[in-house]
Amino acid sequence: MTLIDLANPSRFLALTARVLPWLAGATVILLALGLYQSALAPDDYQQGATVKIMFIHVPNAWLSMFVWGVMSVASLGTLVWRHPLADVAAKAAAPIGAAFTFLALLTGSLWGRPMWGTYWEWDARLTSVLILFLMYLGLMALWRAVEDPSRAARAAAVLTLVGAINLPIIKFSVDWWNTLHQPASVMRMGGSTLDKSFLIPLLVMAVAFTLLFVTLHLAAMRNEILRRRVRSLQMMQASRMAFSSEVGAGSREENASKEFGAA
Amino acid sequence: MTALSALIRRDVRIALRVGGGALIGVLFFLTVVVLMPFAVGPDLALLSRLGPAILWLGALLASLLTLDRLFMADHEDGSLDLITMSRTPLELACAAKALAHWLAAGLPLIVATPVLGLLLNLDMVATGAVALTLLAGTPALTFTGMIGAALAVTLHRGGLLMAVLVLPLSIPVLIFGVAASQAVIVGPMSFGAPFSILCALSLVSLVIGPFAAAASLRHGLD
């Protein structure tokens, strides 16, 4: 089974129908395990119980970037190999990535309130994630701006790849801007390495969230394929109705002229 | 080469004549800068502190405003199809068009900077620094904005969508442009480091912009 075999949407649908329940089950089990472990993890000596936000926050932040990577690969598939499912994958991933990015921002903000005393800080990391979120929204706006999916796909693919090149540059410049405006006062992560009692639940949660993304992505891709089928069926029906009404009108005129002639 | 120079000359001439609208960008730039004192108050000390940031924001918005003309008019009268089909590589043609656009719409902004610096109470050195950073940075704005303009023309959607797509990409240019100007005026930082990064950003966008724009035109216009 190579990637090119999946070019047939029916085969893709059949395969994912078999795989999805297993994926969903594995996601639920790992999520439950991860949540249980993170609930059992000891409180931080400085941050208290709020450190447990980390187990949700960090996987979300990691996936916010991972999803853009997935979309970039899919965009290459659209532009270079013209793989029929690549643009479906790119389109389905964008809202999921935006949701993960939003959750990373939200949990970070909720974590920041007790820790830093503020919901929002123009910290370098926060700012670059916010820009990533804006770019996700822009990409979704681009998908929504055009009716024809294949036309939108190529435009979105170009924008995704440009974003993939630009995101590291933006990250770097925001870091520069931040050190220029304020010294690193907020958080010193680098100093302490994570203890094993935190690291293991975090890794489990990261794997669980990645599986969650894969599950949601495959399900969204199935929906997108079905949505496109419905759309093309509707177009066919509309054109058939337009055609039949045209023909009907034509024959009615003919009849009318015949009657007129007879009269 | 002659084809490219002809393309540049044609675009500059169209932009500068009646209906071209390149100089509207300068007028917009002027208006935005004049609006600022109404928003923050006529305090000259504050204005001179915010000056580089105001000038950079104005230039960013002004260059964004004129960008959707880059391919739109040529698409409407069909000459974009001729350019796409011609023997000159589309990437080079895109670069030439962006260069012409910068000459017609970007350079006037820099020429107008000293006058606007006067309004914002910037001294000679500060104005010179802002003008120099604009000279180094606005090509990056034009060449990354060109990607948005190409996407907009293939999708038949201009205006706001293009602004939403292009503005996040211009954040690095804004950061280093303002940082370099501030380094001259107040900062303990050296001018050289942010300014060289600004030049590097322009050069990178000079490479990426034409390729991305050409790709989106090639895939989108058929």
In this predicted model, what pLDDT tens digit does every residue of B44-95 receive, in sequence order? 888 888 888 889 999 998 888 888 888 888 888 888 888 888 888 888 999 9
Contacts of A80 in chain B (CB under 8 A): none
Looking at residue A42, the DSSP 8-state letter turns out to be: P
- Model confidence at B203, pLDDT cuts 50, 70, 90, reads very high
- Give residue for tokens 């090119």: A4
Interface test with B, best of A173, A174, A178, A179 (most B CBs within 10 A): A173
The predicted pLDDT at position A128 comes to: 83
The predicted pLDDT at position A248 comes to: 64
Nearest by CB to B208, which of A152, A165, A172?
A165
Q: Do A152 and B147 touch (CB under 8 A)?
A: no
Note the pLDDT tens digit of each residue in B89-139: 888 999 999 999 998 888 889 998 988 888 888 888 888 888 999 999 999
Which residues fall within 8 angstroms of residue B173, CB to CB, at 6 or more apart?
A: B60, B137, B140, B141, B144, B198, B201, B202
Chain B contact present for A80, CB below 8 A: no
Give me the total of CB pairs closer than 8 Å, taking one residue from chain A and one from chain B.
81
Contacts of A141 in chain B (CB under 8 A): 161, 164-165
The predicted pLDDT at position A37 comes to: 83
Nearest by CB to B151, which of A159, A170, A180?
A159
- Model confidence at B143, pLDDT cuts 50, 70, 90, reads very high
Q: Say how far apart CA A244 and CA A231 lie, in whole Å.
A: 20
The predicted pLDDT at position B158 comes to: 66
- Model confidence at A250, pLDDT cuts 50, 70, 90, reads low
Using alpha carbons, select from B15, B41, B31 the residue that is nearest to residue B106.
B15
Interface test with B, best of A166, A170, A178 (most B CBs within 10 A): A166
Contacts of A142 in chain B (CB under 8 A): 151, 155, 161, 165
Contacts of A163 in chain B (CB under 8 A): 169
What are the residue ranges of helices labelled H in A118-195? 124-145, 149-181
| ipTM score assigned to the predicted complex | 0.84
- Pick from A95-99, A181-185, B171-175, B210-214: least confident: A181-185
Contacts of A87 in chain B (CB under 8 A): none
**pLDDT higher than 50, residue A78:** yes
Residue A102 C-alpha, separation from nearest chain B C-alpha, in angstroms: 17
Give phi and psi for A48, each to the nearest 5. Answer: 70, -145
Contacts of A138 in chain B (CB under 8 A): 164-165, 168
**pLDDT higher than 50, residue A184:** no
- Pick from A57-66, A110-119, A249-258: least confident: A249-258
Chain B contact present for A162, CB below 8 A: yes
Note the pLDDT tens digit of each residue in A30-76: 888 888 888 777 776 666 667 778 888 888 888 888 999 999 999 99
Which residues fall within 8 angstroms of residue A37, CB to CB, at 6 or more apart?
A: A200, A201, A204
Residue of B nearest to A152 (CA): B155
Residue A212 C-alpha, separation from nearest chain B C-alpha, in angstroms: 29
Nearest by CB to A173, which of B164, B171, B212?
B171
